[in-house]
């Protein structure tokens, strides 16, 4: 298996989303990978921009509101839909968030490692800031050595491959619909099912956190306000 379905869920944050789309498109040029942009209720103006960029990049675009009336965020729907596509096409699934910029070889390296690592479930590239320092959500990896680290810690879906074998072992239809985000649960489910989760500390991608949901930056600047919003408005349920 040498190819993947690559997905980027987008909720506005158009500046970083365009950077993501362009970097992924360059990275997979000339390959058999499929790139799908999931527009999750962006504004009409931003949806039009995404349409144009998808056309120019050779990517597919799916407007989530044409398939479900559930309000954003629709991460559960996107994961379920993408899993079904990946299984039906016998491909891996790679999630690349709309605040991440990948390097030219990143996607190829992720796929090639599925043949080299022991029973991979998830394989993730480490995230860095503009200065090249490891940043959220992998602050715990700052002391890790360089390489392919088999870890029991949770992996984020910033830039992460979910192997076809894992996708066929656990249906995302079983995920809790009351939650908003699923990377922590899916990371643990992978190891629970006997797969290995690998963090690539030698494969870096640029991460500009929370560009689509700026209120989440309050976690670092005004944590009390962040948790007040989180619990009173029932946001960011993991």
Sign of the CA dihedral 125, 42, 208, 24?
A: positive
Evaluate whether residue 119 is within a structural domain: yes
Evaluate whether residue 68 is within a structural domain: yes
Token code pair at residue 147: 């390489």
Note whether 124 and 156 are within 8 A (CB). yes
- Rounded CA separation 204/192 (Å): 27
The structural domain count of the chain equals: 1
- Containing domain of residue 119, as a range? 4-210
Evaluate whether residue 225 is within a structural domain: no
For the stretch 183-234, pLDDT in tens is 999 999 999 999 999 999 999 999 997 555 555 555 556 666 555 555 666 5
For the stretch 71-89, pLDDT in tens is 999 999 999 999 999 999 9
What is residue 236's predicted lDDT score, i.e. its pLDDT?
Answer: 57
Q: What is the CATH number of the domain that holds 41?
A: 3.90.550.10
Q: Which of 16, 21, 25, 56 is nearest to 38 (CA)?
A: 21
What DSSP line would sit under 62-115, residue for residue?
A: EEGGGT--PPSP-HHHHHHHHHHHHHHTT-EEEEE-TTEE--TTHHHHHHHHTT
Token code pair at residue 143: 């002391």
Note whether 157 and 97 are within 8 A (CB). yes
Evaluate whether residue 62 is within a structural domain: yes
Question: Chunked in runs of 10, what are the mean pLDDT values of the chain (238 residues)?
Answer: 95 94 96 97 96 96 96 95 98 97 97 98 97 94 96 96 98 95 96 98 91 55 58 58
What DSSP line would sit under 109-146, residue for residue?
A: HHHHHTTTSSSEEEEEEEEE-TTS-B-TT-GGGTTSPS
């Amino acid at each position: 298996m040498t190819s993947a379905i690559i997905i980027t869920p987008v909720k506005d944050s158009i500046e970083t989303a365009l950077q993501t789309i362009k970097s992924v498109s360059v990275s997979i040029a000339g390959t058999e990978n499929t790139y799908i942009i999931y527009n999750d209720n962006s504004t009409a103006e931003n949806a039009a921009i995404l349409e144009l960029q998808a056309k120019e990049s050779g990517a597919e675009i799916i407007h989530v509101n044409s398939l479900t009336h559930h309000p954003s965020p629709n991460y559960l729907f996107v994961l379920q839909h993408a899993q079904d596509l990946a299984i039906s096409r016998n491909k891996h699934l790679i999630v690349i968030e709309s605040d991440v910029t990948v390097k030219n070889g990143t996607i190829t390296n992720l796929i090639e490692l599925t043949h080299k690592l022991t029973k991979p479930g998830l394989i993730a590239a480490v995230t860095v800031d503009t200065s090249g320092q490891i940043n959220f959500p992998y602050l715990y990896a700052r002391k890790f050595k360089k390489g392919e680290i088999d870890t029991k810690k949770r992996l984020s879906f910033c830039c992460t491959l979910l192997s076809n074998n894992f996708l066929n072992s656990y249906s995302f239809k079983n995920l809790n619909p009351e939650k908003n985000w699923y990377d922590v649960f899916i990371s643990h489910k992978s190891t629970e099912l006997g797969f290995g989760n690998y963090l690539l500390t030698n494969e870096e991608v640029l991460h500009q956190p929370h560009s689509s949901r700026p209120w989440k930056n309050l976690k670092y600047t005004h944590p009390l306000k962040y948790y007040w919003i989180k619990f009173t408005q029932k946001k960011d349920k993991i």
